[in-house]
A and B are shown apart, each in its own frame.
Chain A
Amino acid sequence: MLLVRNAYIIFLKDFHLEFRSRYALNAIFLFAITTLTAISFSIGPLRLKSEILSPLLWIILFFSAMSGLSHIFVREEEQQTADTLRLVTSANAVFLGKWIFNMVLLFSLELFILPIYLAMLGVSVGNFRVFLFIILLGSFGLASVATLIAAIISQASAKGALFAVLSFPISLPLLISGIHGTRLALDGGTLAECLPDLQILFSFSIVIITLSLLLFEFIWRK
């Protein structure tokens, strides 16, 4: 209970800080809008197939996440508040608080970017419920990977490059299932057809969160 309470307090603090400084918010939203606009201009009036539309969506989501989600730990290290935090609560409360924050940030991005993506690229979704389900579960996993890697790279010198380089191989199963599931959903695939992808996305997220809770103490306490 104490863990959840402290995680919530840390989440609220980060939420407050973010809406005052807008470090991650600006990075993630501007990246997504710029990429989407560039894609839209480059394809012109062409109607793309789901085989192309699905990876494009995940590329936008993955790199937008990479551009902003590392701030959650990098900011604590750069502004020398990480030690202050280490002295007041447990490592897992810090991880959970930061993970919730990254998830909220990623979900907000999707809420904003998905309607624009559907409108700008003229996408028709065959099975909207399954499509949303895939995106939600994928983001759940993406936020988990990003939070863990952010904690690792926050203590390195080449933070920006390392974040994407380390996150990509770990996120690969998630991206493959996310892209495949999204393609099926765009083509009108049923829940039963998308179930293997949903299962992989769900299991992947659970494994990453469990590993993070086991390992984070070692990462956080140097």
Chain B
Amino acid sequence: MNFFMSALKRDLLLVFRHRNDIINPLAFFLMVAVLFPLGVSPDPTFLSEVAPGVIWVAALLACLLSVDGIFRTDYEDGSLEQMLVSSESLYLVVLAKVLTHWLVSGFCLAIISPLVAMMFFLPEQGYFSLVVSLLLGTPTLSLMGAIGAALTVALRKGGVLISLLVLPLYIPVLIFGAGTVQAGAMGLGIQGYLALLAAILVLSLMLAPFAISAALKISVRS
């Protein structure tokens, strides 16, 4: 556990030294969301209808955008290799990195999402479900995205490739996440949706770090 905390501390420190890394996903999230009223229609009834889907898609893309860099710098300066050969559990290293990514992307997105919800005229009773669904759903996005990032970290053209690998895997989270917000905005119960999101999160929390570790080993050896 001590090891996990120190790995987490290191990663968080690295992020805070590059503050832009925190701002960029949030700015991207806001910009993508703003494109929809500009591109389709600023009509409040239309916007409140599409708000759950649009906010979730924007959050998903923001997570995807930032996930590319999750192992990149460590790979380039060689510290990833040291982590692989160290005797400590790779599972915990990976978990610390994914947690850092989530704190920077998904967690912050969830916190500022009511702002976008307000701009989209989402009914106020839907705010709670929006924040909770993002808090439960985005960790899964970080975990799945990290698989793609680990597989492509040794390749020069990572960006587009990651989206091809990871976007199909994001579909269930998107469906249940946007479903939560829709149900919440209509004043229906959201426990069922949250249970499904949590189930997907638990499953990926168990399995994804193994896939990420195996992928990192392949990438470093290639």
The answer to whether A and B interact is: no
